[in-house]
Amino acid sequence: MISRRTLLRGAGAAVALPWLEALSFGSAAGKPPVRLAFFYVPNGIHMADWRPKAAGALDELPPTLKPLEPVKKNVIVLSGLAADYTHSPVAAHEPSGGGFLVGAKCRHSEEPEVGGLSVDQLAARQIGLKTPVDSLALGIDAGIRGDHGYSGTYLSNISWRSKTTPAALELNPKQLYDRLFRGRPPKRPNWEAQEAEQKPAAKKETVDSSVLDLVREDARSLETRLGFSDRRKLEEYFEGLRSIERRLDGATADDRSHHQEAFKDADLTKVILPDGRGIPSTFADHVTLMLDILTLAFQTDTTRVATFLFSYEKSGRSYPEIQAPGGHHSTSHHQNKPENNEKLARINTHHISLFSKMLQRMSRVQEGESTLLDNVAICYGSAISDGNKHNHDDLPVVLAGGGGGTIKGGRHVAFAKKTPICNLFVEMLARAGVEQKQFGDSTGPLGVLS
C-alpha cells in the first residue's frame, strides 16, 4: 500500500500525488475526503435571469445559470437565504464582503475587525491539519480603499484567520503554483565540478525547470506498481501540471495584465493594481488558471479548504471583452434600465461560465468509483441580492458538488424568507467532518440537502 502522503521526489523537488486506488487516506476503504470551497461574486446579481421559475427539479435552468447545464445534476440552487448580519445603515459593500463568511457584523471602523473566524478558517483549524496547506484564499483583483468610515480590507477579504487578520489573498497564479507545486527550483548537482566552481542556479522562468523533469525517475518506478486505471490518472495529472506550467510561462513573458484595461477608467488613487508578471492577459484566462490550480490542489489533497473572489466587493471592473463596458459597480445600480440589466446579466453569466468550467473539470477527475466533483461541497454566492436595492435577503446561492455522496443535486430548493445562510455553512462543515452545532446567526440545519 502506498501512503496518501506519497511524494515523487528528485533533486530537492517534491510533487504530491493525486488520489489513486492504490492510495490510502487513512479512512475506511480509502474513501476520499470532502473538500470545501466558498466562491464570492460582488455587487449582487440580476435576479430576474438567475432565479428558477419554481422549486423542485431543475428541468430548465434560467438564463444566467445555463452554463451549468453539463453539471446540472451536481448543483442545487438555494433561494430564500439571508445574511442579515451584513446590513449596515451607512454602507452596503464593505460589511457584505468582510462579514459574509463570518456570520457576524464587521466593526464600523477604518481599522478592520470582524466578528471572529470565517467559516473556511474554522474548517481549516480542524481538517486543514491533515494537509500540507491548511487553506487557500484566492482572488483576481487586489481591491480598493474603503468608504463611509469602513476599512477597505473588508472589500477584498472574505477569509479571516482572526478578528483582525484576513488570510493572505493569493492573486498571482505563478506565485500560487510555485508555492503549491514547485517551490524554489532546485539546482542540478554537477559532481564533476569542484565545489568552489559551482555557482547558484539562476531561477528559471520556463517549463524547462519543471518539477516533473526532476521527478521523472520516481514516476517511472511508481507507475510499475500501479494498475491501468491509476497509471491513466497519473498521466492525466502530469499533463494537467504541464498544461498549467505552459500557460504560466506565457503569462510570465509580459508584465502587462488584464487589470490595466479593466480599470483604465477607474480612479487609480483608490484602485490597487497588482504586478502583471505571471498574470494572464485576459480575465477569463486568469480565473481559469487559478481554478485549474485549485482543482489540482484538491486533487492531490494539498489542501481541503479554499475561498475564491471573482473580484472585490464594490468592484468597478469593466468587461469590454463580453460587451459589458463601464464599471461593474455602477452597472449594478441598474435603476431597471434595460441596457444596465443586459450588461449585468452578461457579467453574471460570464462568472458562472468560468465556475462551470471548473466543475466540469472536477467531474472528469476520477477518485475510485466517484469523481472529485462528488467529493466537494462548494458554495457560490454573494451577500447582496439586487445591487440596486442593496438587499441582503433572497441571496443568489448555488451549492455544487456531492459532499461525499451526502448532497442530492439537480434541484431548486426555496426556503422560508430570511433563512440564515449560516445554516448552509453548518451543513457544509458537517459534510467535511467538522461538527459545529452553531455558527454565526445559524438557527439549525437546513435538512433538505440529502
How many domains, the chain?
Answer: 1
Task: Report the C-alpha gap between 191 and 34 in whole angstroms.
Answer: 46
Task: Report the C-alpha gap between 129 and 121 in whole angstroms.
Answer: 11
Task: Report the C-alpha gap between 435 and 207 in whole angstroms.
Answer: 43
Q: What is the pLDDT averaged over residues 291-310?
A: 94
Give the other-Cβ count within 10 Å of 267's Cβ. 10
Q: Which range (44-48, 170-174, 196-200, 296-300) has the least confidence?
A: 196-200
Task: Report the C-alpha gap between 280 and 179 in whole angstroms.
Answer: 18
The answer to whether residue 191 sits within a structural domain is no
Residue 201 has pLDDT above 90, yes or no: no
The answer to whether residue 259 sits within a structural domain is yes
> What is residue 123's predicted lDDT score, i.e. its pLDDT?
98
Residue 59 has pLDDT above 80, yes or no: yes
Residue 55 has pLDDT above 70, yes or no: yes
The answer to whether residue 443 sits within a structural domain is no
The answer to whether residue 197 sits within a structural domain is no
The answer to whether residue 189 sits within a structural domain is no
Kindly report the CATH number assigned to the domain that includes residue 393.
3.40.720
Per-residue pLDDT band at 119 (split at 50, 70, 90): very high
Q: What is the pLDDT averaged over residues 212-219?
A: 56
Q: What is the pLDDT averaged over residues 1-25?
A: 53
Per-residue pLDDT band at 207 (split at 50, 70, 90): very low
Highest mean pLDDT pick, 95-109, 234-248, 276-290: 95-109
Comparing 8 with 306, the larger pLDDT belongs to 306
Q: What is the pLDDT averaged over residues 209-224?
A: 58
The answer to whether residue 441 sits within a structural domain is no
Beta-ladder partners of 14: 9
Q: Which range (97-101, 218-222, 224-228, 356-360) has the least confidence?
A: 218-222
Reference 317, options 334, 301, 308, 330; nearest CA is 330
Per-residue pLDDT band at 199 (split at 50, 70, 90): very low
Residue 143 has pLDDT above 60, yes or no: yes
pLDDT digits (tens, 9 = 90+) for 86-110: 999 999 999 999 999 999 999 999 9
SS (H, E, C) the chain: CEECCCEEEECCEEEECCCCCCEECCCHHHCCCCEEEEEECCCCCCHHHCCCCCCEECCCCCHHHHHHHHHHHHEEEEEEEECHHHCCCCCCHHHHHHHCCCCCCCCCCCCCCCCCCCHHHHHHHHHHHHCCCCCEEEECCCEECCCCCCCCHHHHCCCECCCCCECCCECCHHHHHHHHHHCCCCCCCCCCCCHHHCCCCCCCCCHHHCHHHHCHHHHHHHHCCCCHHHHHHHHHHHHHHHHHHHHHHHHHCCCCCCHHHHCCCCCCCCEECCCCCCCCCCHHHHHHHHHHHHHHHHHCCCCCEEEEECCCCCCCCCEHHHCECCCHHHHHCCCCCHHHHHHHHHHHHHHHHHHHHHHHHHHCCEECCEECHHHEEEEEECCCCCCCCCCCCCCCEEEECCCCCCCCCCEEEEEEEEEECHHHHHHHHHHCCCCCCCCCCCCCCCCCCC
Whole-number average pLDDT of the chain = 85
- pTM for the model stands at 0.87
Q: What is the pLDDT averaged over residues 304-326?
A: 96
| Nearest-10 crossing angle of helices 283-299, 338-363 | 30
Q: What is the pLDDT averaged over residues 343-356?
A: 98
Highest mean pLDDT pick, 13-27, 271-285, 361-375: 361-375
What is the span of the domain harbouring residue 302? 2-183+205-431
The answer to whether residue 448 sits within a structural domain is no
The answer to whether residue 436 sits within a structural domain is no
